[in-house]
Amino acid sequence: MIKILALETSCDETAVAVVDSHKRILAHVIRSQIEEHQLYGGVVPELASRAHLDFLPSLVTEALKQARLGYGDVSAIAATTGPGLMGGLLVGATFAKAVAFARNLPFLGINHLEGHALTVRLTHDVPFPYLLLLTSGGHCQILEVRGVGDYKELGTTLDDAAGEAFDKVAKMLGLGFPGGPAVEKMALKGQPNIPLPRPLMEQNNYNFSFSGLKTAVLQYQQKHAPLSPQTVADLCASFQAAVRDCFVNRLTKAIQALPLCQHVVVAGGVAANVYLRDALQELCTQQGRIFVAPPLALCTDNAAMIGWAAMERFRLGYQDPLTLRPRPRWPLKELTSCNTGF
């Protein structure tokens, strides 16, 4: 039985988890920093790294207690080492390396995006290859997941990620932070009756662009200010519908281009949006594909996904030296392929 203690500190959530090789999450604790950053309308890197430093030791103790384990029962320790905010990455990686050195444990530095990409294999029986829409605050990509460390990028965002666009739209409409849940909640009260652009949908590729869509929302707001609460709700519904259409358009093309990928997976923070999940479920039903999404709690940043990505690699004999340095930018295509096909 392999048990991995995992730390996630890449942005504004301090998270610790313990997962085992039977796909069980033995412990899963998260300390959100929303209150620390809410005043500023977004994540302040210096505040985030200081908060990680304050919260991490007690969260590790809590996770081990929750799992009823001591350090001597752990097979390896893993930490997110990129991409993300450098200060936070350093806090998590340094803590994990110190424990690994002191306890003579294997250390694994995990790519945050690979954590999202492989989460579905923790929660569901999904074989390689599968088609993945990875969409979060900082990333929006369509990938063919061929194996552990083996990712073919089909399309990516040319500017803003979808999650970033949600946050910025929420901020300009005065809905607060975090923006994604706020826009989704407001959209439930509105109708998608405001015309907004669907960027790149006429092009024969898999790329996204959300900057123009975000700007169109800003221009509408400025032209019709002050907006009534109902108009704000309609604008949120219209923005969300435009994002949906972009996702469906791009994924339809990718599904038709990759007949061997019977499973279509959505992961990342934006995957917690129920409206978008429902639209993608409907698309997959129409296209004869199996739609899979992790539970909502494992879509946003968490340490269980880091633990599982580490598990996938550790079972294949991988571990990292304690000299491994965190990387604020770390594309999936730069990962080492270790495709096993199981």
CATH superfamily ID and name for 128-293: ATPase, nucleotide binding domain (3.30.420.40)
Query: pLDDT tens digit string along 156-210?
Result: 999 999 999 999 999 999 998 889 999 999 999 999 999 999 999 999 999 999 9
CB atoms within 10 A of CB 277: 17
Tell me 157's DSSP state: B
Task: Indicate if the pLDDT at residue 38 is higher than 90.
Answer: no
- Tokens coding 72: 């001597």
Report residue 37's pLDDT band, with 50, 70 and 90 as the boundaries: low
Backbone phi, then psi, for 236, in 5-degree steps? Answer: -65, -45
Do 15 and 56 touch, CB atoms closer than 8 A? Answer: no
The continuous run of DSSP H or E covering 140 comes out as strand 140-147
| Same fold: 3-117+300-334 with 128-293 | yes
Q: What is the pLDDT of residues 227-273, one digit of tens each?
A: 999 999 999 999 999 999 999 999 999 999 999 999 999 999 899 99
Q: What is the structure's pLDDT at 340?
A: 40
The CATH label, of 3.30.420.40, 1.20.810.10, 3.90.1570.10, 3.40.50.300, for the domain at 3-117+300-334 is: 3.30.420.40
Are 163 and 152 in contact by the 8 Å Cβ rule? The answer is no
pLDDT at 34 exceeding the cut of 80: no
pLDDT at 334: 86
Listed by start position, the domains of the chain span: 3-117+300-334, 128-293
Residue among 182, 162, 165, 161 nearest 232 (CA): 182
Instruction: Band the pLDDT of 341: cuts 50, 70, 90.
Output: very low
